Amino acid sequence: MPVWGMVLSAFAEIRTSKVRVTLTLLCVSALVAVVTLAIALGGLAQQAVVQTFEQQVGRPVTLTVDAASQEGPPKLSDEAITRIEADLRRYRVVGSPLRTAQAPAFRQVLPDGVRPIKTGDDDGGELSVVGAAPSLDRIRRISVVSGRWLKPVDDHRMEPQLVVNAKFAKKLGPNPVGAVVEVGAPRQWVRCRVVGVLGGGAPWAASEIYMPYRAMARWRLGEESTSYVVRVPKADAERVKEQLKADAAGSWGLGRVEIYRQEGDTGVISGTFGKVLLAVAAFLLVLGSLPGLVLGLMAVRQRRSELGVQRCFGATGPDLFLTVLLEALIVSCAGGALGIAGVYAISGPLFGFLRDQGPFAEADLAMVFPWRAALLGMGVAVCVGLLTGLIPALRAMQRSVIQAIRS
């Protein structure tokens, strides 16, 4: 039997068995819709987690240098920071000091006086001020939606420049860029000016405000916690790590330091999400194939006489096998396309809700329909067609002509 004859026979059976085909379409479309939606939402969650990691820790490969300390948080002195920066020029890598002041007091300077600014748990935890170099945006994921990021010239300004997060910016009024804010230093209030507003950031991420490191050192803010982060090429990570340890004992005068390699976490996160989604897809594939398999076996049993007549007119076992398998594949692909179309129709409103009010609110995610998930969903539909059509096709191929005519 030619291929076009098999295709025509498959379509003829589809037109005849409307109830069975409709039930199979509904099962496959529901399965593909669930798989596609799960993969799409899993991809968004993966983006949010990886993005948060890169915002809080750094992009691959980030090395964190801390002075070893028996008590209290690690602290690198300003002299050690200067020596580290001099050595890093030889390595040709990007680095930045990090100096953190936990939960300082804030107040806004207005024409008619000052106004205290309350920060706390309703802002995503205690708000901290982080002193950093302008190069930090090449190490961490930093998204400025209004104004600008820190510049090298800001290190020398007597009025420190601030880049604030979105929640803190809302407390400053409708025009936060240019607002004057005072930060509580150990012995005085430090007058600062907001030059940028950060965007993105998952809702569970820590809230941070960035200030030039030199300004924090000048006003003695965050003296209790200072470290250094370095972003290096993956191939040179171990070599640079050993060089930093040697320099710490030599030219830096620090003795023992602790250097953490923050490179593998994003890979572990992506791999874990991928394995979970693969397991969910496999489970749904097996579960969704059972109804179609039962319906296919029932259809072959009901078509015993028809299959016997086709064998009498010259159809071979492989011809019947391919005809039944093509029928299952056509129905499954149609159901897969229907399920993907349904997910595409609801993806706009759903992703909009997740962006504005859902768990991914304030995360800087690409809220577009993931065609990768659609391709995987269609792949699931093809697999369902193969699974549900293989056993019935084998049964049809093994059908005896004499038994089919007698039935």
pLDDT value at 124 more than 60: no
pLDDT value at 271 more than 90: no
Confidence (pLDDT) at 160: 93
pLDDT value at 404 more than 70: no
The answer to whether 56 touches 206, Cβ cutoff 8 Å, is: yes
Confidence of residue 335 (pLDDT cuts 50, 70, 90): confident
Q: Residue 210: which of 122, 261, 148 has the closest Cα?
A: 148
Confidence of residue 159 (pLDDT cuts 50, 70, 90): very high
Which of 122-131, 288-297, 325-334 is modeled with the greatest confidence?
Answer: 325-334
Q: d(Cα 221, Cα 210) in Å, to the nearest integer?
A: 12
Q: d(Cα 128, Cα 122) in Å, to the nearest integer?
A: 14
274 to 202, 268, 279, 280, 348: CA distances (angstroms) = 20, 10, 9, 10, 24
Question: Residue ranges per domain, the chain?
Answer: 3-54+266-406, 60-262
pLDDT value at 253 more than 70: no
Compute the Cα dihedral for 132, 135, 140, 142 and give only its sign: positive
Confidence (pLDDT) at 148: 95
> How much is the average pLDDT of 249-261?
67
Confidence of residue 265 (pLDDT cuts 50, 70, 90): low
Q: Residue 99: which of 266, 212, 204 has the closest Cα?
A: 212
* Chain segment 164-181, per-residue pLDDT in tens: 988 889 889 899 999 999
Question: In sequence order, what are the residues at sequence separation of 6 or more whose Cβ sits closer than 8 angstroms to the Cβ of residue 317?
Answer: 397, 398
Q: Is the peptide bond before 61 cis (omega within 30 degrees of 0)?
A: yes
Per DSSP, 207 falls in state P
281 to 275, 290, 339, 380: CA distances (angstroms) = 10, 15, 15, 8
> How much is the average pLDDT of 138-160?
91
Which has the higher per-residue pLDDT, 60 or 256? 60
Q: d(Cα 308, Cα 406) in Å, to the nearest integer?
A: 9
Backbone φ and ψ for 212, nearest 5 degrees, come out as -55, 140
Please provide the average confidence, as pLDDT, over all residues in the chain.
78
pLDDT value at 256 more than 70: no
> How much is the average pLDDT of 305-316?
65
Confidence (pLDDT) at 125: 59
Measured over all CA atoms, what is the biggest interatomic distance in the chain, rounded to whole angstroms?
A: 103
Confidence of residue 122 (pLDDT cuts 50, 70, 90): low
The residue written with tokens 């299952």 in the block is 328
Per the document, the length of the chain is: 407
Structure tokens at 104: 């300082």
pLDDT value at 366 more than 80: no
Q: Give a three-class secondary structure readout of 224-270.
A: CCEEEEEECCHHHHHHHHHHHHHHHHCCCCCCCEEEEEECHHHHHHH
Residues of the chain with pLDDT > 90, as a percent, come to: 16
> How much is the average pLDDT of 83-99?
84
The residue written with tokens 């859902």 in the block is 358
Q: Residue 183: which of 145, 219, 135 has the closest Cα?
A: 219
Confidence (pLDDT) at 79: 81
Based on its alpha-carbon atoms, the radius of gyration of the chain, rounded to whole angstroms, reads 32
The answer to whether 74 touches 100, Cβ cutoff 8 Å, is: no
